[in-house]
């Protein structure tokens, strides 16, 4: 009798290999399916209009004409409308052929009449376009040399795929990403009106205007008082006269020009001062407002004008412009580390319980990411707006977060409000040294709001404060508002924040045999522990050993991934069996779960775990003292 071997699910590396292959296969199937589903076929009448700031000839502009055929590069359905890019294209008007005259970025807006069919011929082997927030798939290798140059230039100038963005309608449709409970929620009838303030500097045309049109298209007219665009001294040609002409044709939209580069903070203050709505909502210039985004935000402020609100921020891919909605159950709260950089944290259990575990309800968050939020005019003015001494960008989000909580307000994330946002891997704009600018802003923030806890940030920058300007007016503002202490904020708003004084070792982890220290390198979405030359400036070489035996930097802990034979940095999750390390008396660092010791490879290029042998490559120098600074409670005495 033939023996049939039972299937055994692969383990270890094989398991991950099989999963990877299956995942790749599934992605290919989904892409193929979308390629079929996203091809659009319609007929009807068209209203001809110009785009990208260009007007068509008077005899064509705004004429409604029937047509039989459209051949062009782009056609997008938006409800009952279709937008067609006629670059190098043409359409037939009854018996007379009317050409687009090769004008750049000419657009036709078509109203679809019932029973009519608008024919679209898909361009093979180049891309396909989808509504409903679906991706634009482009194979760069199949582009012409000229198209490839445009494609690459778009990435270089914007740090996202401008080529793909320019193929998508400025009015593209999006799915309703709200949770079912949100669609049934009733909001107050008498909501305040709003000014939406959008700051931009050298932004791509299609992304900037898609932001504007998404707000116009998806905001109740009686609530949207105005959109104020603030140009922070852009020098791209399309953002000059063409933008002036385009904005002049849009109701409720105005444009403010700054005569020198002012930076995000000061530009927002300019936009706010020019606005008149009862509520100000600040948006980045690469966003898309979605269905029902506005009412949930205004409702929270209408109930309490000292509430500052943040929507769910849904990522828009920087490569294919696909929007990925996040259900409320996956929402995270905002936080920060002692480098004074924002990060995402799980929602506190006490906050989940306060909401009766109803994920769709607004939840309190210690900090905001800063790009997208709403605040009442009166409360923003009361808080002194922003620190106008901040340069370019950075720290303004934490300043407003601290002020809100410490000076009598509440900061909430509202899961029923969704706004898409393009996250970029780098800042594409020419600017002063970004690191020094952020450091200067962070020092101003620490001096005004962190009290004695500023010592932890200063240790990270080796106490090199430099010239950070005059902050006396901001300190006076805090005293005038009678704001609470930073210790109160930590204990009442952000109790999960790790306090460095709650450690038993601190500083650099230095090899005894080579002048290298434990550092971290970013591998896509993972962070890996590696050796690099010791520099003595703390930063990524600064580590803490907690009383629970975690090696950590703030909320990120060392974890040994056995199948990779690597040490990774992940969010600390309170499971010591996976992350427990012991700094032993013989200067070895022992991993309790694997029963191995930390070792520097012979070529000094890897930090790994190996059988404990007492070898010098397993010896490490680490300060066996807590980080110097205040404790969570006032009776804690700092080390002198």
Instruction: Summarize pLDDT for 554-583 with one digit per residue, the tens.
Output: 888 999 988 888 899 888 876 655 679 999
Degrees (nearest 5) of the Cα angle 496, 498, 501? 140
pLDDT in tens, 270-280: 999 999 999 99
Q: Which residue has the higher pLDDT, 69 or 184?
A: 184
Q: Is the pLDDT of residue 164 over 60?
A: yes
Question: Residue 235: is it exposed, middle or buried by C-beta count within 10 angstroms (0-12/13-18/19+)?
Answer: exposed
The percentage of residues in the chain with a pLDDT greater than 90, rounded to a whole number, is: 63
Q: Which of 3-17, 324-338, 577-591 has the lowest mean pLDDT?
A: 3-17
Q: What is the mean pLDDT of residues 436-446?
A: 94
Cα(397)–Cα(404) distance, integer angstroms = 11
Task: Check residue 100 and give its pLDDT.
Answer: 29
Q: Name the strand (E) or helix (H) holding 157.
A: helix 145-158
pLDDT band, residue 28 (cuts 50/70/90)? low
Those residues whose C-beta lies under 8 Å from the C-beta of residue 26, and which sit 6 or more positions away, are none
* DSSP code, position 262: -
Q: Is the pLDDT of residue 170 over 70?
A: yes
Q: What are phi and psi of 553, to 5 degrees?
A: -125, 105
Q: Which residue has the higher pLDDT, 613 or 571?
A: 613
Q: What is the mean pLDDT of residues 163-191?
A: 92
Q: Is the pLDDT of residue 354 over 80?
A: yes
pLDDT band, residue 606 (cuts 50/70/90)? very high
Cα(148)–Cα(578) distance, integer angstroms = 47
The token duo for 47 is 């209203």
Cα(9)–Cα(22) distance, integer angstroms = 14
Task: Check residue 198 and give its pLDDT.
Answer: 98
Q: Which of 35-39, 101-105, 149-153 has the lowest mean pLDDT?
A: 101-105
Task: Check residue 411 and give its pLDDT.
Answer: 98
pLDDT band, residue 613 (cuts 50/70/90)? very high
Task: Check residue 634 and give its pLDDT.
Answer: 72
Give strand pairing partners of 167.
none
The token duo for 18 is 């099989």
Q: Is the pLDDT of residue 356 over 90?
A: yes
Q: What are phi and psi of 146, to 5 degrees?
A: -65, -45
- Is the CB of residue 43 less than 8 Å from the CB of residue 117? yes
Cα(100)–Cα(73) distance, integer angstroms = 13
Q: Is the pLDDT of residue 601 over 90?
A: yes
pLDDT in tens, 363-410: 999 999 999 999 999 999 999 999 999 998 889 999 999 999 999 999
pLDDT band, residue 431 (cuts 50/70/90)? low
pLDDT band, residue 346 (cuts 50/70/90)? very high
pLDDT in tens, 75-88: 333 333 334 443 33
Q: Which residue has the higher pLDDT, 73 or 211?
A: 211
The token duo for 563 is 């199948």
The three-class DSSP label of residue 495 is: coil
Q: Which residue has the higher pLDDT, 464 or 72?
A: 464
Q: What is the mean pLDDT of residues 313-339?
A: 95
The percentage of residues in the chain with a pLDDT greater than 70, rounded to a whole number, is: 77
pLDDT band, residue 121 (cuts 50/70/90)? very low
Domains defined for the chain, CATH in brackets: 44-121 (no CATH), 180-185+192-422 (3.90.550.10), 434-492 (1.10.8.460), 503-623 (2.80.10.50)
pLDDT in tens, 9-19: 334 444 445 55
Q: Is the pLDDT of residue 35 over 90?
A: no
pLDDT band, residue 136 (cuts 50/70/90)? confident
Q: Is the pLDDT of residue 108 over 50?
A: no
What is the SS3 string spanning 418-473? EEEEECCCCCCCCCCCHHHHHHHHHHHHHHHHCHHHHHHHHHHCCCCCCCCCCCHH
Task: Check residue 29 and give its pLDDT.
Answer: 52
Q: Which residue has the higher pLDDT, 142 or 426?
A: 142
Q: Which of 18-32, 91-105, 420-434, 460-474 has the lowest mean pLDDT?
A: 91-105
Mean residue pLDDT of the chain comes to 81
């Amino acid at each position: 009798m033939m023996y049939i071997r039972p299937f055994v699910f692969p383990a270890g590396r094989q398991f991950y290999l099989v999963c990877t292959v299956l995942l790749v296969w599934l992605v290919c199937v989904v892409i193929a399916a979308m390629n079929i589903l996203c091809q659009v076929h319609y007929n009807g009448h068209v209203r001809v209009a110009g785009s990208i700031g260009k007007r068509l000839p008077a005899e064509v502009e705004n004429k409604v004409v029937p047509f039989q055929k459209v051949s062009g590069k782009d056609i997008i359905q938006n409800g009952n409308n279709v937008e067609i890019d006629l670059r190098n294209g043409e359409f037939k008007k009854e018996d007379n052929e009317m050409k687009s005259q090769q004008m750049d970025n000419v657009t036709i807006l078509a109203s679809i009449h019932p029973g009519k069919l608008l024919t679209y011929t898909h361009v093979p082997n180049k891309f396909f376009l989808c509504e409903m927030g679906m991706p634009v798939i482009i194979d760069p290798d199949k582009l012409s040399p000229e198209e490839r140059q445009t494609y690459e230039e778009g990435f270089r100038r914007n740090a996202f795929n401008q080529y793909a963005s320019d193929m998508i309608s400025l009015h593209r449709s999006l799915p309703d990403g709200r949770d079912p409970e949100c669609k049934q929620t009733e909001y107050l009838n008498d909501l305040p009106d709003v000014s939406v303030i959008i700051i931009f500097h050298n932004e791509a045309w299609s992304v900037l205007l898609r932001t504007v049109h998404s707000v116009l298209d998806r905001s109740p007219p009686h609530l949207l008082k105005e959109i104020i665009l603030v140009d922070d001294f852009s020098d791209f040609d399309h953002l000059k006269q063409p933008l002036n002409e385009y904005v002049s044709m849009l109701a409720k939209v105005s444009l403010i020009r700054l005569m020198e580069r002012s930076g995000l903070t000061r530009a927002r203050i300019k936009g706010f001062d020019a606005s008149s709505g009862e509520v100000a909502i600040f948006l980045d210039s690469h966003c898309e407002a979605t269905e029902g985004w506005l009412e949930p935000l205004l409702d929270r402020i209408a109930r309490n004008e000292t509430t500052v609100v943040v929507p769910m921020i849904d990522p828009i891919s920087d490569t294919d412009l696909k929007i990925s909605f996040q259900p409320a159950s996956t929402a995270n709260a905002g936080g920060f580390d002692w480098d004074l950089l924002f990060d995402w944290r799980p929602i506190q259990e006490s906050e989940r319980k306060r909401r009766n575990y109803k994920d769709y309800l607004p939840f309190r968050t210690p900090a905001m990411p800063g790009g997208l939020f709403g605040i009442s005019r009166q409360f923003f003015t009361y808080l002194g707006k922003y620190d106008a001494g901040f340069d370019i960008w950075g720290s303004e989000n934490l300043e407003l977060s601290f002020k809100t909580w410490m000076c009598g307000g509440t900061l909430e994330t509202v899961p029923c409000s969704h706004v898409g946002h393009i996250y970029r891997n780098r800042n594409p704009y020419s600017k002063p040294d970004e690191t020094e600018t952020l450091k200067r802003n962070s020092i101003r923030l620490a001096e005004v709001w962190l009290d004695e806890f500023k010592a932890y940030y200063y240790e990270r920058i080796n106490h090199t404060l430099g010239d950070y300007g005059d902050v006396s007016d901001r300190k006076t503002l805090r005293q005038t508002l009678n704001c609470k202490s930073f210790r109160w904020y930590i204990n009442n708003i952000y109790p999960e924040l790790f306090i460095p004084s709650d450690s038993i070792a601190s500083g650099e982890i230095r090899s005894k045999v080579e002048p290298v220290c434990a550092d971290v390198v970013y591998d896509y979405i993972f962070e890996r522990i590696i050796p690099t030359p010791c520099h003595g400036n703390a930063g990524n070489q600064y580590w803490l050993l907690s009383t629970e035996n975690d090696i950590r930097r703030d909320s990120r802990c060392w974890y040994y991934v056995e199948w990779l034979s690597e040490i990774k940095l992940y969010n600390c999750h309170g499971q010591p069996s996976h992350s427990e390390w012991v700094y032993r008396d013989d200067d070895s660092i022992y991993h309790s779960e694997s029963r191995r010791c930390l070792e520097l490879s012979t070529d000094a290029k890897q930090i790994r775990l190996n059988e404990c042998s007492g070898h010098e490559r397993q010896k490490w120098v680490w300060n066996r003292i807590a980080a110097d600074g205040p404790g969570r409670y006032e009776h804690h005495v700092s080390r002198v």
